[in-house]
């Protein structure tokens, strides 16, 4: 924490700026969530089967240990699968909003349902109902967020 008085070269009727700097950490961002998945976008079942048939499946059977047989067969299968459906990594930002609560989430679900209804019907009354709920959600988020930061600053 830093504080002090800043004397400015310009005369403001003998007034100086008094300041306080306090560093607080109110980070709302968490670590990103990493998920791994197989990309089946360009998967061709027939080519996959052909590549599986090209493997020499007698190689795993040469082992005496069932675990070794399983491991070798699994590696062969996954090698072909990785060729046709490679593993991808997806980063999902962890947007943890600490002020978000179940009431706001319920309001958001209602808002989204009203929006879908308004789009489907196209009636002005449905759009008015949606806008009203949208404004209600926005105000709820603003007040909850303000209260959250006020409580954090006070603590």
End-to-end distance of the chain based on CA atoms, in angstroms? 16
Amino acid 88: pLDDT: 92
pTM above 0.85, yes or no: no
Amino acid 7: pLDDT: 65
Amino acid 20: pLDDT: 72
H-type helices in 57-123, by residue range?
66-84, 102-121
pLDDT by 10-residue block (mean), the chain, 155 residues? 67 64 59 86 90 82 80 89 91 79 93 95 95 96 93 86
């Amino acid at each position: 924490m830093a504080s002090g008085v800043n004397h400015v070269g310009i005369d403001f009727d003998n007034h100086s700026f008094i300041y306080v700097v306090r560093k607080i950490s109110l980070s709302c961002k968490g670590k990103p969530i990493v998920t791994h998945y197989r990309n089946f976008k360009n998967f061709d079942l027939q080519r996959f089967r052909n590549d599986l048939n090209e493997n020499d499946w007698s190689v795993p059977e040469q082992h005496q240990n069932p675990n070794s047989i399983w491991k070798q067969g699994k590696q062969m299968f996954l090698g072909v699968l990785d060729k046709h459906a490679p593993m991808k990594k997806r980063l999902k930002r962890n947007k943890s909003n600490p002020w978000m609560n179940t009431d706001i989430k319920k309001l958001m679900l209602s808002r989204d349902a009203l929006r879908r209804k308004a789009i489907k019907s196209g009636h002005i009354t449905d759009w008015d109902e949606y806008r009203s709920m949208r404004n209600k959600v926005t105000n709820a988020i603003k007040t909850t967020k303000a209260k959250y930061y006020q409580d954090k600053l006070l603590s």
